[in-house]
A and B are shown apart, each in its own frame.
Chain A
Amino acid sequence: MSYLAKRKFYYSILLISVIVLLLLGIFSLFVGTANIGFLDVCRILASKLPGIQKLVSTDNIRGSSADIIIKLRLPRAVLVILVGSGLAAVGAAMQSVFRNPMAEPGILGLSSGAGLGATIAIVIGLDKTVLGLSAAAASAFIGAIATVFIVYNISRTGHRISPTVLILAGTAISFMNSAVIQLIMIFRRDRMDYIIMWTMGSFSSPSWNKIAVLLPFLLPGLAVILFHARDLNIISTGEETAKTLGVEVERTKKFVLASCSIVTAACVATSGIIGFVGLIIPHLLRLLVGTDQRVLLPFSIVGGAAFLLVCDTLARVAAPPAEIPVGAITAVFGSPFFIALLIKGKRSVM
């Protein structure tokens, strides 16, 4: 059946998914290591809603409970949703640009570049905050963008970029960045723990500030990627075919990759390196909704957000007081599920 005929159907499914995501988000506000009753959470939330705030009394609720809900759990849920949606959408777009199933947000050396940027800031001992973000985060963003810039220029011949060279250059630079990080850690053993801590992605220190910094990169980035969804469909059938069909392949690639890089860099800078979401979620959804980018991208945005939200909530509550690194949860829960889908998909193809 054609896309147009199915469009309405997909929209309604997507709408349901968004509602489920919102419910998950609200649900995540109710669970956590601090023991805050269901009604208290409702009252704290209601007291912040304009209109009904006068009707709700929060008198006998501990002040710390309101802080926990409004200043910790709520920004965390929002941040997780944003990062999850960004990483998954970028993964889906990159897999289609590169026509490579192993493509993921970090493939152009972004993650390692961010890691190196953060490492340098940590070792120098930069103590300033930039736009409410730590120096390490700002430096990570710069590192990520600088790395992509180098990779891009290595791979460029005239106005053309070869996806293969891009991936290889990205991988090579990644290895080099990681090696430099390791060297720095050996020479600055006193700072090693900070560096390791940074590279293990985590949402344990959420803030509205981070969200405010992330949004201006994330939203336009996602918009550009979504706008090119149809062209990406054609490119993924082969660049030559796409050209004969009138797609400005190089321009599309450039725009999409630039947006992907900015979105990823912003995500990594605010929450560290979180693997798996950008690689597996697009594949998972491809098995469920098909390869059409016009469908896949919106579903990736919602699916990535929902998946990461579930994982992060588990990371928060599974082993109090410790927080399990969210990357470990995403892999432990996501991999078996994905493998099951792969096996099922293989059968139905055969």
Chain B
Amino acid sequence: MRRKIGLFTIAAFITVLVIAFNACASNVPAEESKQGKPDDTSAATSHAPENGEDAGQPAGNSNYPIAVTDSKGRTIRLENEPERIISIGPDITEIIFALGKGDKLVGRSAFCDYPPEALEITAVGDFYEWNLEMIVSLEPDLIFVSAMNTEENEKKLMDLGINIIFINKTESFGGVYETIGLIGKVLNSETRSEEIISRMKNDVEKAKKAVDGLDRPSVYYVVGFGEYGDYTATGETFIAKMLDMAGGANIAADITGWSYSLEKLMEKDPDIIIGSEDAVKYFREASGYKELSAVKEGRIYAIDPDLLEIQGPRLSDGLLELVKILHPGSLQ
């Protein structure tokens, strides 16, 4: 008898699964058709121009085909100007928008939230998981990747014949200029990229000049805090370099590996502390942290960490912000 009940349960189990499955499935296309519509139209049109592109492109404007070398040392050959681009990495999305090519973006990572227009672009996954199916269905002709990724995803996309350009994190402004220059070249907007680079160079010069010869206050930049462990921009990092350029004496300049500790922080008791809004709030309330003289005396400042951590055109703004915090008034 029990056996029979068991078999009935199997049958019920299977039926439930099938029904549940169907229910889910019937929801999905409905949901998709909302999102999918704009894609569909663009996809329908994309095929025709793809064939006609060679003919349609005015001969004078054509720098293509071009070959570029990416951060992994791979050479990528592009026959035509990329028209459907996916950017996986906030820095690249910012650069593409700054170059005025935001309209060519058909996909982005979930972390690409600047400029605000970027949010209107389809997200194809976060750093950890890429939705390969979505990426393929957007039919990109080029993918920029600066975020972390798995070799498997990489290999898979290459197997599918999609061009990928990898951009590594860099450790200097020079590296950022190179990245902007590279993307400018690929997207046929080299003049614009040169403008951006020279603006950034100007800002960097301005910052250097402003802090030249001034006293260097000791500074601590908060990357992580509290129960997740204390992390800071240790000596080898790009942010540490920027703190130095902005005329600060980073208390973690002599160590490497991002890791720090509250004890050490209390021992060094820096003049100035800089961190995100959340970090500042936490430092003001948490025991230990609120005993630091910079916190007690109100020399803890909030900065948008994206300005320092996203290696795009806003990086020089970040540097100027640091100068304003470390040496108020010096920029006039």
Contact = CB atoms under 8 A, between A and B. Distances in A.
B139 interface: yes
A31 B31 CA distance: 12
Given A72-B133, A288-B6, A321-B110, A194 B25 contact: no
Nearest to A23: B18
Contact of A318 (B24, B122, B152): B24
8 contacts: A68-B137, A127-B151, A129-B155, A193-B127, A198-B150, A205-B153, A317-B24, A321-B122
B2 A348 contact: yes
Interface of A: 1, 6, 13, 17, 20, 24, 27, 30-36, 62-65, 67-68, 71-73, 127, 129, 134-137, 186-187, 189-190, 193-194, 196-198, 200, 202, 204-205, 207, 287-290, 306, 310, 313-314, 316-318, 320-323, 337, 341, 348
A156 to B, nearest CB: 37
Interface in B5-59: 5-7, 9-10, 13-14, 17-18, 20-21, 24-25, 28-29, 31-33, 35-36, 39-40, 43, 47
Which of A33, A193, A348 has the most chain B CB atoms inside 10 A of its CB? A33
B151 A290 contact: no
A320 B132 CA distance: 11
Given A134-B150, A320-B134, A189 B258 contact: yes
Interface in B260-291: none
Given A204-B129, A204-B132, A321 B40 contact: no
B37 to A, nearest CB: 9
Interface residues of B, number: 58
Nearest to B15: A20
Contact of B25 (A30, A68, A322): A30
A197 B134 contact: no
Given A27-B25, A320-B134, A33 B32 contact: yes
Contacts of A134: 150-152, 155
Contact of B130 (A67, A129, A204): A204
Residue from A13, A207, A288 whose CB has the most chain B CB atoms within 10 Å: A288
B139 A62 contact: yes
Nearest to A318: B24
A13 B10 contact: yes
